[in-house]
Amino acid sequence: MRRKKKDLRRDQFVDTIEKVLKWGLSHRDRAITIVVGIIAAVVIGYSLLTPKENFNPQAELILFQGKELIGMGKFDEAEQLLRYLVQNFGTTSSGARGHYYLGIICSATGRYNDAIKEFDLFLSSIKKSYFLRPSAYIGRGSAREMIGDLEGAYEDYKKAAESNTPVSPIARLQMGRVAGALGRYEEAKEILQKLSEENKGTVIGDDALLFLGYLEAKLPSD
């Protein structure tokens, strides 16, 4: 049976996620490093998979240029372009998505409160998006985590985990880790154990086992 082109593109997207994780999860100095790496994969994959609704050619071109600049690490130039986009084409789909990428930039440059605001604007504007909505929850959760709002971060990771998308395992990993940080050790252990069993031999599965090891080291001995 021949596979649909859409299915093949989604497989390529998942493969991109996996490759980025191999880099991101090896740099655990800050949680945001992982998330920015994940979102970088979404930047690549989303443009291949999403049909254009409320399409405006000029706005879409500006959004494309902004994403390209993000990919090159030129955050100042990208932000200037995306600010123009959301101010002048805010009613278009491209303008609404601009807030998502502004959230990425703010997170990557340490402006976590601004990142939360941008992800809020995106989530309130785009009610349906297979990849970007759960990814925005992960991005907002990470920003909340960085300002110490662990409960808020947990809830965002939970929403992303329930999305049944390729980023769901990533969100479950973060959810389990934060549950442990909140002192909910049994819940964290259950999440991470199940995740490791369901993803044996993968980056996600291996990292779930690693976090389980950290968790068990914190548990009081009998």
Q: What is the pLDDT of residues 13-72, one digit of tens each?
A: 445 444 444 444 444 444 444 455 555 555 545 554 454 556 788 999 999 999 999 989
- Alpha-carbon distance of 212 to 217, in angstroms, equals 9
Q: DSSP for 98-122?
A: HHHHHHHHHHHTT-HHHHHHHHHHH
**Tally of CB atoms within 10 A around 209:** 16
- Provide the 8-state DSSP code for 26: T
- Alpha-carbon distance of 189 to 123, in angstroms, equals 30
Measure the CA angle with vertex 72, ends 46 and 103; round to 5°.
Answer: 55
Give the per-residue pLDDT at 71: 87
Give the per-residue pLDDT at 57: 86
Residues whose CB falls within 8 Å of the CB of residue 170, separated by 6 or more in sequence, listed in order: 17, 21, 38, 138, 160, 204
Residue 185 lies in a domain: no
Give the per-residue pLDDT at 103: 95
Give the per-residue pLDDT at 201: 87
Residue 14 lies in a domain: yes
Phi-psi region of 148 (alpha: psi -120 to 50; beta: other; left: phi over 0): left
* pLDDT beneath 70, residues of the chain: 1-54, 220-222
Give the per-residue pLDDT at 131: 86
Residue 156 lies in a domain: yes
Domain that holds residue 12: 5-163
Give the per-residue pLDDT at 137: 96
178 burial (CB, 10 Å; 0-12 / 13-18 / 19+) is: buried
Residue 181 lies in a domain: no
Measure the CA angle with vertex 121, ends 61 and 50; round to 5°.
Answer: 45
Give the per-residue pLDDT at 216: 80
Q: What is the CATH number of the domain that holds 9?
A: 1.25.40.10
- Alpha-carbon distance of 199 to 1, in angstroms, equals 27
Report the number of secondary-structure helices (H) and strands (E) in the chain: 11, 0
Residue 93 lies in a domain: yes
Phi-psi region of 54 (alpha: psi -120 to 50; beta: other; left: phi over 0): left
Residue 194 lies in a domain: no
Number of compact structural domains in the chain: 1
Residue 102 lies in a domain: yes
Residue 121 C-alpha from the chain's centroid: 16
Residue 91 lies in a domain: yes
- Does this model's pTM top 0.85? My answer is no
Give the per-residue pLDDT at 36: 52
